[in-house]
Amino acid sequence: MKWFVLLMFFAGLSHATSEQQLIEKYGKKRIAKFISDKTSGELTIIFNDEMRRAHMPSPEYITANTIGIDLKKIGSSANEVDSIFTKKQTEEEEKAAKEKSMLIDSENNKRLRKEVRRLAEEKERLRPKDKYDLAVAIAVNRGLEIQAENEKRIARERRHQKKYEARKKEKHQSNASVGNNPVCGISLSKVTNDLKSAYSKKYPDSYATQRMLIDGNIRSYKELCREKVNDISVRVLKKRIDKYYPNFSTIKMLYNSDMKAYKKLSNY
């Protein structure tokens, strides 16, 4: 019995949703809005390695850790938010499907009434030719069935083509070179050791804070290492690394801001 209880406990843990998984599934903006509705817009953020409270902050300053802190403050959890969002999404999909079905039924009914009226008029015009009349009705119905099947087939082919193009584009992007990325030139072990050294000096005896900041910086390091770079982004990354290393959370935030501004300027 004791082993059964433990098994059920660990099974529950395996299905738990983390704050990071919540971000990947729904995005920071949606989660922040959910929390803001219950906190009058105030959220926990990390800015320059320090936790603060801010009113309607930019998603760049929100992390999985700050989301976990805010969810605890409002008496909720990542699992509960996931359930709420999933339920809402299911309801919206069911509503959309119902509306679409009603629209299709309405269009089909209009088409059917029109066809029935046409057949009635045709039958009236060809009343003496009953056998011919029946053959015409059967041929028309068969033609409508064939047309409907063709439309379904074309729709399926278009969906498959879109999926194929999306997979092809994703594969092409994944094959892009990241060899020139200066972030990847710094090993993960070196980054981890440098972060431990920096935060142990800055936050002595605050081990939870050290762990939270180290985890956040390592996530930012890995995300930056996966960036597809060009000459411009390499220069921006090197400049930020030289100034803010090993604080990759700050490096990532400033890099994203710089590249966003660069793209806007390129469109002028």
* H helices present in 74-205, as ranges: 78-125, 130-174, 188-202
Closest to 227 in 3D by CA, of 265, 188, 180, 262: 180
Q: Residue 79: which residues within 8 A CB-CB, separation 6 or more?
A: 16, 17
Residue-range domain boundaries for the chain: 14-81, 98-174, 188-266
pLDDT at residue 45 is higher than 70: yes
Question: What pLDDT score was predicted for residue 124?
Answer: 75
pLDDT tens digits along 59-106: 888 998 999 998 998 898 989 999 998 999 899 899 998 898 888 888
On whether the pTM is more than 0.85, the answer is no
What's the pLDDT tens digit per position in 202-255?
999 899 999 999 999 999 999 999 999 999 999 999 999 999 999 999 999 999
% of the chain beyond a pLDDT of 70: 85
- Angle at CA of residue 148, ends 129 and 140, nearest 5°: 5
CA dist list (Å): 196 to 5, 69, 74, 141, 203: 38, 22, 31, 76, 10
Mean pLDDT, all residues of the chain: 84
Q: Taking residues 127-134, what's their average pLDDT?
A: 59
Residue 189's pLDDT is what? 94
What is the structure's pLDDT at 152? 87
- Would you say residue 3 has pLDDT above 60? no
Question: What pLDDT band is residue 11 in, cutting at 50, 70 and 90?
Answer: very low
The pLDDT score that the predictor gives to residue 38 is 86
Model confidence over 104-119: pLDDT tens digits?
A: 888 888 888 888 888 8
* Per-residue pLDDT at 176: 45
**If residue 221 lies in a helix (H) or strand (E), which one and from where to where?**
helix 207-225
Contact (Cβ atoms closer than 8 angstroms) between residue 184 and residue 225: yes
